Amino acid sequence: GHDVVALVRDAANAHALTDAGLILREGNLDDAASLQKAAADADAVINAADSDHAVGVASLLDAVANTGKTFIHTSGISVTADHAKGSGGGIVRDESVAFQPIPERAGRYAVDQAVRAAAARGCRPIVICCPLVYGPPPWPGRESVQLPTLVADARKHGAARYIGAGEARWTHSHIDNIAEAYALALAKGTAGALYYPETAEQSWGELAAKIGRSVGLSTCSITLEEGVAAWGPRALWTYCSNARTRGVRIREGLGWHPRVDDIETDLRRLASMAA
């Protein structure tokens, strides 16, 4: 029921957003004035553009300070990742469990902490730390990262690949569940809160097996070096790490409960697109 204004760099090339029901306004994370003017005109602000853009986030926090407005910041559970290199284990964390991030995720963690600390500045800041997100996007061309990458990689190499033992585990959730988490946080989230929306978890090896079934290919293990060569540095804190979160506070405090849990259906969708 809300009117949603989307900041875009070039409104002329963002017709898909208009078709999805969004109101377009030109803005840029590197342009503090555009961010602050847009925030001033809005009842609440959600950063769903860039989890790591510290300067843009700082500008938005300045804009909502002393206004009582809600600012929801999108983060991701790679901040909780370890250097498992494909091995299992890992610490299971709910929102109350403190941790220190690995060096590669320290910048994102610092942004998250700055957002939460802004509760002392007269606004209602909230961090939603998303897991692996899957499901069809609301407009074409805006797929999530991990699953499309792995399905395309399987097609390219003739096997669904995983790093090392493939035992490291990540939590995941469908995009519809994630959208519901944002709606609830907007309505009744606690200032300074961290929320972990999640549905279930699985190992990267288990996920590779599901990808393999969806595209009709076998699975195979690759080295960490091969993974980094294929997927870039993020392989270190994504495709071979443990990031095992549990959304206790979001369930108990917001009444959020995931309604969709069907990752294999989405894998079949992605496989059909790649065929």
Radius of gyration of the chain (CA): 19
Query: How large is the average pLDDT for residues 235-247?
Result: 98
Does pLDDT of 195 surpass 90? yes
3-state SS record for 171-237: EEEEHHHHHHHHHHHHHHCCCCEEECCCCEEEEHHHHHHHHHHHHCCCEEEECHHHHHHHHCHHHHC
Which residue from 36, 31, 39, 37 is spatially nearest to 10, judged by alpha carbons? 31
What's the whole-model pTM score? Answer: 0.96
Give the CA distances from residue 201 to residues 54, 80, 133, 164, 266, in Å, rounded to whole numbers and listed in that order.
29, 14, 12, 18, 16
| Element containing residue 5 per DSSP (H, E) | strand 5-8
> What CA–CA distance (Å, rounded) separates 30 from 58?
11
| Residue length of the chain | 275
Query: How large is the average pLDDT for residues 83-89?
Result: 97
Tens of pLDDT, residues 34-61? 999 999 999 999 999 999 999 999 999 9
Quickly count: other Cβ atoms within 10 Å of residue 44's Cβ.
17
In single-letter form, the type of residue at position 161 comes to R
Tens of pLDDT, residues 105-148? 999 999 999 999 999 999 999 999 999 999 999 887 789 999 99
3-state secondary structure of 130: strand
